[in-house]
Chain A
């Protein structure tokens, strides 16, 4: 396939895949006020990278495992009445710092740390592309399948119980999906900015949406525009790609917030 030989085409497809995967999950991150939870999970990924490089394992499963362990650990802490933002602040930054230290200690090769911190979308390979789209399809399928149960559990756990839904199981579904998104997004935006990709497109879609489904679709659309727009801006202005994508998303957020405010007044 000559189409995929073009690095720009691969980059664009990678960005679209991550935007698609992050949209429905990002909505739950916003609704459940889990922004810092997402960040802690993403930061744990750098620990996974360190272990993979140190032990000579594949990076993807190691990142997936590290993100999942972090997400489960934080979930367990929530149930025990910890002050959530403090606990997350400790976990999140410890994971990041320990990951950076471990990478330097374990990997004697001169590793391009920046690629893991901020992503390197222009270096996406066909294999990366397959991973990203595989993960995206998995996350979208998972959230679509559990959608009503996830929504009701988010609204009110007791109503979910009365409807025969186990809210803890649904929470586990979200945790799993979050780990997958982190694992596939690391190549595109890097661990530092994954949380931004989860939170900003849904937040930008919020003023335009009347239903949860509308917000998820809007987040996917705005995420896709951010990915392509960011890629374009990075080429034109010669700026780093991951941060350019996040800046584009932030710009969209500002525009929809403004539009939403005007609509409400009008």
Chain B
């Protein structure tokens, strides 16, 4: 096994006096897809924000591979309507990029042709793909996605995850994502971490779905959903592609 890209060692985080994360030990190795699941307020988003350095550790530490390139897709991006911002200009923040580079990365993320649009005019799905494009700009070794499919319908979410899978294959980057879409996400993952302030359990999707700690948090119903998704996935009708665009 190769050296981890990023690793947390007994990472604890406090926000406003409340313990959000306690002694979390996670290692992310190159190329793997890791999903973090957990109930609301379990510290999933805080964990990702700690990885990018937006919140500091109360104790423990984070080890990053030297020169690690991280692409981050935030949970939401609320742009005030008072700020004019084209998609292409947004991609060029904080470092300006050329038109061809912008068009290439937009196409890569499934957002081709959106370059001249205003950010505030995008639909939820388009905005997600633009955020993904921006995260892919610097050829990240590690892609962090925080609830990236919020506001997408189920086929839209499934298409988005398929896109992530393709990106992983093309770039060879590791992916860490936080999600609520348990069944969709778990099926697409190499490893699932169940978080609730601390790590409850982790392993392959099947192992976690069977774990008593996981069932205590989510009930056993989701296991059926996992099986259902697997079933759908094995005979793919390709109905999900750009499904969300049909409603625009």
Contacts and interface: CB of A to CB of B under 8 A. Distances in A.
Nearest to B90: A155
Contacts of A214: 84
A162 B93 CA distance: 12
Contacts of B95: 148
Interface string B101-135: 00000000000000000100000000000000010
B185 interface: no
B248 interface: no
Interface stretch (A38-46, A97-105, A185-193, A204-212): A204-212
Interface in A207-252: 209-215
Given A158-B74, A162-B72, A210 B93 contact: no
A8 interface: no
B30 to A, nearest CB: 19
B146 to A, nearest CB: 8
B84 to A, nearest CB: 5
A161 B54 contact: yes
A134 interface: no
B174 to A, nearest CB: 15
Contacts of A138: none
B52 A162 contact: yes
Nearest to A209: B84
Contacts of B167: none
Nearest to B74: A158
Interface stretch (B17-25, B75-83, B190-198, B227-235): B75-83
B80 A33 contact: yes
B70 A162 contact: yes
B86 interface: yes
Nearest to B118: A210
11 contacts: A31-B80, A148-B94, A149-B94, A155-B77, A155-B83, A156-B74, A162-B70, A162-B144, A210-B118, A214-B84, A215-B83
Interface of A: 30-31, 33, 148-149, 151-152, 154-163, 165, 203, 206, 209-215
Given A148-B92, A161-B49, 15 more contacts: A30-B82, A31-B80, A33-B82, A148-B93, A155-B79, A158-B74, A160-B94, A162-B53, A162-B71, A210-B86, A210-B118, A211-B85, A211-B89, A212-B84, A215-B83
Interface of B: 49, 52-54, 70-72, 74, 77, 79-80, 82-86, 89-90, 92-96, 118, 134, 144
